[in-house]
Homo-oligomer: A and B are copies of this chain.
Amino acid sequence: MLAGTGPLPGDIVAACEKSGREVFILAHKGVTDPDVIGSTPHEWVHLGAIERTIALLHEHRAEEVVFAGPVKRPSLTSLRLDSRALKLMAGLRKNDDASGDDKLLSMIIGELEGEGFRVVGIDSILPGILAPSGMLGALSPDDEAQADIAVACRVARAVGALDIGQAVIVQQGMVLGVEAIEGTDALLERCRDLRREGPGGVLVKLKKPHQEARVDLPTIGPETVEGARAAGLKGIAIEAGGALVIDLPAVIAAADEAGLFIIGVSSGNP
């Protein structure tokens, strides 16, 4: 497992232990939470140490590789790129203007597959983690919220196509905020102050159109519901089959209690 931030790496470890599957963690300095790793076999590596990452995967006879938990792209200087990573970045710089992560992640996956590892999606280990379609909790969006969802889906697809971000907040047809590098929690927090009087808005998170589905899928968890409630939103729409829900029962319970809807929508047909 290549471990990012948040609790997902721990969930993967638990699922592997339950199924009797061996797991080895490549933890990333300044990214992975040490508490989540606990006593699971692991090594700490810099994000930019691709040569060492591949050597460790071979050494531990990895067959499948899973990316778990998001990684915010840090500055190039703090990545500590090794020679192999530099070669990858050089290819990226030539073919792309490097505005986002999609190309870079695709190239890293290509390197891993070239070494004989199978890169699998997180849902192959945690089958229930992908957002289902339709209402997840007790509530459903009213007509106004449905209109806001439609606007937000259109905007999210467009900003996603530019590899900028995955989340958009729309209220009464107005785009209150677009996520770039700050993350959804920060987006929700600023929309507390930006919200207009009257009916509340919606948060929409969609997979970016060109996004590698095995890494960095849009994610919500109980804290996303809390942030949406605090921002006065009516609910959250996520891409069915294209977004991760961390702790679905807790998300549903929090949403029902807060009076928010959670809906899994198709990106093509919101």
A residues at B contact (CB < 8 Å): 73-78, 97-100, 147, 150-151, 154-155, 158-159, 162, 164-165, 170, 172-178, 180-182, 186, 190, 194, 196-198
Contacts and interface: CB of A to CB of B under 8 A. Distances in A.
Copies in the complex: 2
Contact of A175 (B174, B181, B196, B197): B181
A74 B155 CA distance: 20
Contacts of A159: 158-159, 178
Contact of A177 (B97, B154, B180): B180
Contacts of A150: 97
Nearest to A163: B175
B178 A97 contact: no
Given A75-B196, A77-B197, A100 B175 contact: yes
25 contacts: A74-B197, A75-B196, A75-B197, A77-B197, A77-B198, A78-B196, A78-B197, A78-B198, A97-B147, A98-B151, A98-B172, A98-B173, A99-B151, A99-B154, A99-B155, A99-B173, A99-B175, A100-B175, A155-B164, A158-B162, A159-B178, A177-B180, A177-B182, A180-B194, A190-B190
